[in-house]
Amino acid sequence: ERTLSIIKPDAVKSGYVKSINSMIKNSGLKIIKKKNLTLTKEQAAQFYSIHSDKPFFNELCIFMTSGPIIVQILEGENAVDLYRKIMGATNPSDAEENTIRKEFATSIQENAVHGSDSKENAIKEINFFFKE
């Protein structure tokens, strides 16, 4: 099974990429593809279009385009759920100990990482970044 991971601008700026990827590898997930890029406003709005009616949508797009991100495909048994487990809750104040967001996120918006929330969305999100 595969899932899409994004290391967001806050975590890249703070130099947490290596530590986050160590946590990913320690969980048993393999990083099989990686891209370093900066999203355009259009790409951010398209990627997060499911949230376009939310009050935080505009700010989210501004944040996600504020600097480079690392986009990765993770592979392993139960990858979607396993990655969501090691990321921790969206809001870092609700995240359990030893999760990526507990360790590295600063707010509900600047929450260090993104992970696909279902197998169907994992396929869509992987195709969004890795069409080839």
Residues that bind ligand CMP (CB under 6 A): 51, 56, 60, 90, 108-109, 111, 114
State the DSSP string of 57-106.
Answer: HHHHHHHHTSS-EEEEEEESTTHHHHHHHHH--SSGGGPPTTSHHHHH--
Task: State the nearest-atom distance from the C-beta of 28 to ligand CMP, in Å.
Answer: 21
* 62 versus 132: smaller Cβ distance to ligand CMP: 62
**Collapsed DSSP state (helix, strand, coil) of residue 33:** strand
Cα 8 from Cα 6, distance rounded (Å): 6
Task: State the nearest-atom distance from the C-beta of 107 to ligand CMP, in Å.
Answer: 7
Residues serving a catalytic function are: 114
Pairing of strands 69-75, 113-115: unpaired
Residue with tokens 């600063």: 106
Task: State the nearest-atom distance from the C-beta of 14 to ligand CMP, in Å.
Answer: 15
Task: State the nearest-atom distance from the C-beta of 94 to ligand CMP, in Å.
Answer: 11
Is residue 5 within 8 A of residue 74, CB to CB? The reply is: yes
In the structure encoding, which two tokens stand for residue 27, read together?
């969980």
* 72 versus 111: smaller Cβ distance to ligand CMP: 111
* 55 versus 132: smaller Cβ distance to ligand CMP: 55
* 12 versus 60: smaller Cβ distance to ligand CMP: 60
